[in-house]
Amino acid sequence: MQHSLDTTIRLPQPPEDLFPFFSDARNLERITPPELNFSIVAPPRGGIGEGAHICYRLRLWGIGFGWKTFISDWRPPRHFVDEQISGPFTVWRHRHSLERTDRGTTMHDHVDYALPLSPVGELAHPLVRRQLRRIFAYRHAAMLRLFAPSCTDRFVISFDGESDNRPGTAKKRGGAGSANPFGATE
């Protein structure tokens, strides 16, 4: 069964100023929760662009695994798409869109994904959904910290086309060592 994840965040810079951040694969490490031990095993030759392949390594629930993606669409400064070649999902297609607004940029992420071993794999979807929510909440909080440190706007995360009315907030609530350092809800 295929699922979707949608997120929205507002940043004060125009897309032209934000897009270069995504052109450096090393920045993925900066916006990924540290407990995932995310690392790039093989960065793309010549930087990120259409057709680039990126190999990662990460650890989730104590299990290490590899993940390989390729950039199937690259249109600076508006959007890009990464798709899984091999990794933990049966399907992973992630579209990153940056839309210019009068206040900067609204960044949208749309992910279509499917779990392996369907239909039995669907039993794990609530756990996977919670983990994806946490990862994307961390990611958006990190983006706000990097590009809008004084911002108190909220970001929204929804699954399968329906918001679960639990938006994250950019305000830090707990400090660096808390379980939920950026106020994201789970």
At 126-173, the pLDDT tens digits run: 999 999 999 999 999 999 999 988 776 667 777 776 654 444 543 333
Supply 58's token pair.
């990460």
For 170, other C-beta atoms within 10 Å of its C-beta total 22
Pick the CATH number of 2-169 from 3.40.50.1820, 3.40.50.12780, 3.30.530.20, 3.40.50.620: 3.30.530.20
- Predicted confidence at residue 123, as pLDDT, reads 95
Where do we find the tokens 């392949």? 53
Quick one: 174 exposed, middle or buried, by C-beta within 10 A (0-12, 13-18, 19+)? exposed
CA atoms within 13 A on the CB side of 76: 12
At 71-97, the pLDDT tens digits run: 999 999 999 999 999 999 999 999 999
- Predicted confidence at residue 185, as pLDDT, reads 35
| Residue 183 banded pLDDT, cuts 50, 70, 90 | very low
